[in-house]
Amino acid sequence: QLQLQESGSGLVKPSQTLSLTCAVSGGSISSGGYSWSWIRQPPGKGLEWIGYIYHSGSTYYNPSLKSRVTISVDRSKNQFSLKLSSVTAADTAVYYCARGSYGDYGAYYFDYWGQGTLVTVSS
């Protein structure tokens, strides 16, 4: 059973960089056919996709966050990471990592999720 686990700082000061890591177990991040995403959810609000990375290292970011986001993969540790720079209070959210799967006829969906980690931006 694939499992994803987020870790990182739960409190970040405004203007600093948020850093999170997602450790993948029960499967290899190097397996083809999947993307590895970060998705966030501000308190009491909906889901916002941040970006994803393939095992090859290719990335695709939400245009609204692109200038501040970097997602990287460490295949040796079977994990991928998120960096979000110049954070403000608006970046306070629960951050999830998730696996994106591709099905028949171009289906795309997030089938495995981490439990999420709350990141608060505050001085």
Partner 1 sequence: EIVLTQSPGTLSLSPGERATLSCRASQSVSSSYLAWYQQKPGQAPRLLIYGASSRATGIPDRFSGSGSGTDFTLTISRLEPEDFAVYYCQQYVSFGQGTRLEIK
Residues in contact with partner 1 by the rule CB under 8 A:
37, 46-49, 52, 62-63, 96, 98, 103-111, 113-116
Residue whose CB is less far from partner 1, 1 or 122: 1
Pairing between β-strand 11-12 and β-strand 117-121 as defined by DSSP bridges: parallel
What is the rounded (10 degree) CA torsion for 99, 68, 87, 21?
Answer: 30
> Contact, 83 vs 18, CB < 8 A?
yes
Residue whose CB is less far from partner 1, 9 or 41: 41
Task: Give least dist CB 117 to partner 1, A.
Answer: 11
Structure tokens at 122: 């505050």
The pair phi, psi for residue 101, each rounded to 5°, is: -115, 150
End-to-end CA distance of the chain: 39
Task: Give least dist CB 47 to partner 1, A.
Answer: 4
Task: Give least dist CB 13 to partner 1, A.
Answer: 26
Residue whose CB is less far from partner 1, 8 or 16: 8
Task: Give least dist CB 14 to partner 1, A.
Answer: 26
Taking the C-alpha atoms of residue 3 and residue 27, their distance in angstroms, rounded to an integer, is 8
Residue whose CB is less far from partner 1, 108 or 123: 108
